[in-house]
Amino acid sequence: MRRVYRILLRLSLAGSLVGGAALAAERYVDAQLPRDGEVAEGLYVDGVAVGRGERVDDVVARRVAARLERRIELHDGARLLQAATVGELGGEVDAEALRAAVGAVAHEGPVLRRLDEAAEARAGRRAVALRVRLPVEALAATVTEYKAERDEPAVPSRWDFARGVATEHRDAALADAFAAVEAVERALASAPAGDAEAPLRVELPFTHLPPAATREAVASVVRSTLLLRRETVFGFGGGQAGRAQNVARAARGVDGAVLMPGEVVSFNQLVGPRSLDNGFALAGEIYRGEMRTGVGGGTCQVASTLYSTAYLAGLDIVARSPHSRPIGYLPAGLDATVAYPHIDLKLRNGFDFPIVVHARAEQGKLTFELWGRERPAEVSFESATVRTMSYKRKVTEAPGLEAGKVVQKKKGIRGLVVKKVRHIKLRDGDRDEETKDIYPPSDEEFLVGPGTDPDKDLPPLPGSETPGAAPAAAADGPAPLPPGRPG
């Protein structure tokens, strides 16, 4: 066909044909080409073939509207997360670019090229694609809300001291909003045009990321040197059975954890929620200065013992909160309180080799050990109480008490400000870290009978704030937390 066109045109242009033949050739060419403003017959625009004589503006408007009205369903397996049209998701189509591309086929350039393009369009071999640009915000809002429920964090490998092997790790599976937008755009680009009435189903994509401590990495860790060992004691008989169970459960959660170089490790993530389903028991705990029964009492002792071990071994402390008063099993300044999921202890391995944590709770003794390739730092620690704070008194009249009767409901505890200095000696130099821990006072409480005069019938309060005073005696057992911070 192309050869015939060329022969006719060349004969006509060369003046080799008579006027009638030249006119016939011109009419033939006009019949093969679309008129101004019309789409080349048979051209596929966004997957749909165009009929003869259809206008460019009409075709573009229909295809753009069809794309923006296409319904998208974002699924996670059997669960429908979002259903909306492309337009509702903020999708955009460059209608002007599409109009220019459609209008150029068989309309621009030399006559021979236009005839070739028209012939290819009629044969179904010419197409113009329509691309949708989809912003991330609409889908991201849905995916972000779903992530808290659906994301699965990585489970790093640990060193199983009992069996002498590295455990299996699990990659993180994270719902990916940006990948979801790309998946929708790919689905729109490849969707059959004839199925435009049916919703376009797209599966929510997940990004899979391995933990730093993979099984292979942990298996190769050198554990030849003990960096530091520390111990604390806890009650485990009689009424302390629940607390002892919690100490042992939290210690198992930390045992075998591997801190890769530069990695930050979270106590809460290792141990998990303090719940009955997660192996924790009911035990006595102090909350807002009073004893109560709660799930997980004793977990703070595990966090504190781990913190003191890591602190005195020279590890970096990324997040740590002291108790609201000194505790009985460690010196002031070496404790750490935790409350799942908001109050956490986070440690960072600043050395150039992995460190393995070994924790065990046996017969009232909690032991932490840190193992690695070498002992890279010598650490010394000094602390001093630089201030004490007196507590206040709360007096409540109890009608059930006889006149003049006084009952102490809660003892008051002085507050402390403890200055501590950690001196770290490394091969490449020394450094000192100076911090302060504040243990606020815990108010005392009295119940009194009617007619009691607090000023006369109650013992005097301790003196006001005293700089440099001696520290109050440490509390025996778990420490209370300030209001709003359950332990």
Position 438 scores a pLDDT of 95
Position 142 scores a pLDDT of 92
Confidence class for position 463, pLDDT limits 50, 70, 90: low
| Helix (H), strand (E) at residue 12 | helix 2-13
**In the predicted model, what is the mean pLDDT of the chain?**
88
Both structure tokens of 390 = 């007196």
Position 404 scores a pLDDT of 86
Q: Is a pLDDT exceeding 70 seen at residue 20?
A: no
Average pLDDT over residues 36-55: 94
Alpha-carbon gap, residue 236 to 242, rounded angstroms: 8
Query: pLDDT, tens digit, for every residue of 365-394?
Result: 999 999 999 999 999 999 999 999 999 999
- Residue 217 contacts residue 354 (beta carbons within 8 Å): yes
Confidence class for position 27, pLDDT limits 50, 70, 90: confident
Both structure tokens of 149 = 């429920």
Q: Is a pLDDT exceeding 60 seen at residue 476?
A: no
Average pLDDT over residues 424-445: 94
> In sequence order, what are the beta bridge partners of 431?
424
Interaxial angle between packed helices 111-122 and 2-13, expressed in degrees from 0 to 180 and rounded to the nearest 10 = 150
3-state secondary structure of 67: helix
pTM for the predicted model, two decimal places? 0.75
User: Torsions phi, psi of 477, nearest 5?
Assistant: 110, -170
**Sign of the four-CA dihedral 174, 177, 183, 184:** positive
CB-count burial class (<10 Å; 0-12, 13-18, 19+) for 427: exposed
From first CA to last CA, the distance across the chain in angstroms is 87
Alpha-carbon gap, residue 278 to 265, rounded angstroms: 20
Q: Is a pLDDT exceeding 50 seen at residue 210?
A: yes
Alpha-carbon gap, residue 95 to 203, rounded angstroms: 28
Residue type, 144: T
Q: Is a pLDDT exceeding 70 seen at residue 486?
A: no
Alpha-carbon gap, residue 53 to 55, rounded angstroms: 6
Query: pLDDT, tens digit, for every residue of 277-326?
Result: 999 999 877 665 556 788 999 999 999 999 999 999 999 999 999 998 88
Q: What residue ranges do the domains of the chain occupy?
A: 2-133, 221-467
Q: Is a pLDDT exceeding 90 seen at residue 345?
A: yes
Position 266 scores a pLDDT of 97
Cβ atoms within 10 Å of 200's Cβ, excluding its own:
17
- Nearest Cα residue to 284 out of 276, 272, 266, 296: 296
Position 484 scores a pLDDT of 31
- Residue 407 contacts residue 448 (beta carbons within 8 Å): yes
| Helix (H), strand (E) at residue 345 | none
- Residue 221 contacts residue 157 (beta carbons within 8 Å): no
Average pLDDT over residues 48-64: 94
- Residue 132 contacts residue 15 (beta carbons within 8 Å): no
Alpha-carbon gap, residue 318 to 270, rounded angstroms: 16
Give rounded-to-5 percent helix, strand, coil for the chain: 30, 30, 40
- φ/ψ region of 78 (left if φ > 0, alpha if ψ in -120 to 50, else beta) reads alpha
